[in-house]
């Protein structure tokens, strides 16, 4: 499935100011999020399933898919559309086998080694991690920055032409345009969306920036 | 499936003195364990799957099933025989839907409320928790003791005649016979098996005690 990564909204209960996850997901989708991920490293499985179901129900009719971070069991039980797997999570090939060909499976890419594996991974998108410094996740590695991002995106496109490639970590309204300018197909955001008072408005603004930057990049590419 | 709970060996990496999980599982099975569970609340999913696969491979040819605690995704990916779910884990009905009719699914029973739900749960066994004090798990509730165990087993049998019912928490060679005398079909052990120097010998001794107590109980029942 061709995944739309333009505004990838990642819901982490630790970064929501304690608000209802389903309400926030709906607000993000209404504002223009194109993909939602539920990421929760602390809740027990029973709560994970209940929350994922509530988020999935809140997204009904929006056309916005829901992915679950890491947990294939939760995705299956809640009827989510797929999973996002990091380097410590289930192998993408195992996840594909359990979820089937229709599921969306995405992977985090942080290094050239990860990009080397990308050739054979049964995934629908890649997301370059660690672009800028972030408070949303402990990250021992230094940020790759815009130049690093551009290199990694180029490398991913060389390995898997046509694969959507997003970017994550520290992305907000101030740098989203530059991220798209560096070659990403979209931005994954956590705090820049779900720590804001008005999530729908924040989504609308970010989506506008991404769409504008994609259009500008398209014009530049066409003019070459 | 009729599950044999006589000696239910629970492998938790925190209670193994750092030894290889697959080797320990094999030693337990050789000594007489009838069921093995892999329980790990800390490892990432990729490691969980790798370890579960190694344990499953070590049990090949023994006829001893492997269950995974809580994680249906890990059980599916590793080809384990089922899961054990506690009250914070996936609902047994969801687990059954994902694992299919052939899987073994067991549930922890600690209170009369849990026992009330047992009537409709699609499970293959119940395990009465909190029998004695234990160092293997934080447990805020006081132990139910032998009298409490006998009441809970009776209640479970009233709700689900024929369902195998085990017991867990603080069970070792000194009290295993009394646990069986109180009505349990078997004992679930962690430290009494996997913290011992010679796991195979510890399993053989525990299995002997259980078999002896079951035979004595059978003789008593028959003599009534």
CA-to-CA distance for B27 and B9, rounded, in angstroms?
11
Joined together, the tokens standing for residue B80 give 């384990």
User: Per mean pLDDT, which range of A33-42, A108-117, A189-198, B191-200 is the poorest?
Assistant: A108-117
Report the SS3 class of residue A160.
coil
Joined together, the tokens standing for residue B213 give 């107590």
Please name which of A67, A97, A59, A99 lies closest in space to residue A83, comparing C-alpha atoms: A67
Mutate to test the interface with A, among B71, B73, B85, B98 (most CBs of A within 10 A): B73
Residues from chain A that touch B83, judged by Cβ atoms under 8 A, are: none
- CA-based nearest residue in chain B for residue A95: B77
**Residue A220, pLDDT above cutoff 90:** no
| % residues pLDDT > 70 (chain A) | 96
Complex prediction ipTM: 0.93
Residue B71 to chain A, least CA–CA distance (Å): 7
CA-to-CA distance for B43 and B16, rounded, in angstroms?
15
Residues from chain A that touch B74, judged by Cβ atoms under 8 A, are: 73
CA-to-CA distance for A44 and B90, rounded, in angstroms?
8
Predicted confidence band of residue A138 (pLDDT cuts 50, 70, 90): low
Predicted confidence band of residue A35 (pLDDT cuts 50, 70, 90): very high
- CA-based nearest residue in chain A for residue B96: A77
CB atoms within 10 A of CB A95: 28
User: B75, B82 in Cβ contact below 8 A?
Assistant: yes
Which CATH homologous superfamily contains domain B7-223?
Aldolase class I (3.20.20.70)
Q: Is B82 exposed, middle or buried (0-12, 13-18, 19+ CB in 10 A)?
A: buried
**Residue B112, pLDDT above cutoff 90:** no
Of B46, B49, B94, the CB nearest to A49: B94
Query: What value does the mean pLDDT take over residues B40-49?
Result: 97
The kind and range of the H/E element at A136 are none
| DSSP type of residue B27 | H
Torsion of CA A122, A128, A129, A131, to 10 degrees: 180
Residue ranges per structural domain of chain B:
7-223
* Cβ-based contacts under 8 A for chains A and B: 61
CA-to-CA distance for B210 and B218, rounded, in angstroms?
12
User: For residue range B5-19, what is the model confidence (pLDDT) as tens digits?
Assistant: 999 999 999 999 999
Length of chain A, please? 224
């Amino acid at each position: 499935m061709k995944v739309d990564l333009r505004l990838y909204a990642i819901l982490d209960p630790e970064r929501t100011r304690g608000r209802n996850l389903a309400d926030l997901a709906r607000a993000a989708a209404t504002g223009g999020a194109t993909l939602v991920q539920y990421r929760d490293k602390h809740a027990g499985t029973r709560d994970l399933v209940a929350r994922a179901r509530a988020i999935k129900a809140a997204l009904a009719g929006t056309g916005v898919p829901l992915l679950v971070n890491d947990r294939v069991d939760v995705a299956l039980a809640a009827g989510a559309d797929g999973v996002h797997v990091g380097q410590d999570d289930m192998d993408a090939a195992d996840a594909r086998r359990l979820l089937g060909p229709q599921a969306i499976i995405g992977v985090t890419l942080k290094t050239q080694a990860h990009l080397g594996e990308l050739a054979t991974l049964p995934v629908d998108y890649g997301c370059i991690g660690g672009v800028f410094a972030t408070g949303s996740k402990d990250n021992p590695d230094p940020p790759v920055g815009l130049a690093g991002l551009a290199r990694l995106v180029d490398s991913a496109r060389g390995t898997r032409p046509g694969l959507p490639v997003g970017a994550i970590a520290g992305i907000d309204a101030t740098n989203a345009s530059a991220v798209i300018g560096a070659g990403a197909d979209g931005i994954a955001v956590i705090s820049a969306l779900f720590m804001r008072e008005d999530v729908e408005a924040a989504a609308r603004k970010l989506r506008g920036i991404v769409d504008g930057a994609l259009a500008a990049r398209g014009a530049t590419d066409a003019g070459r």
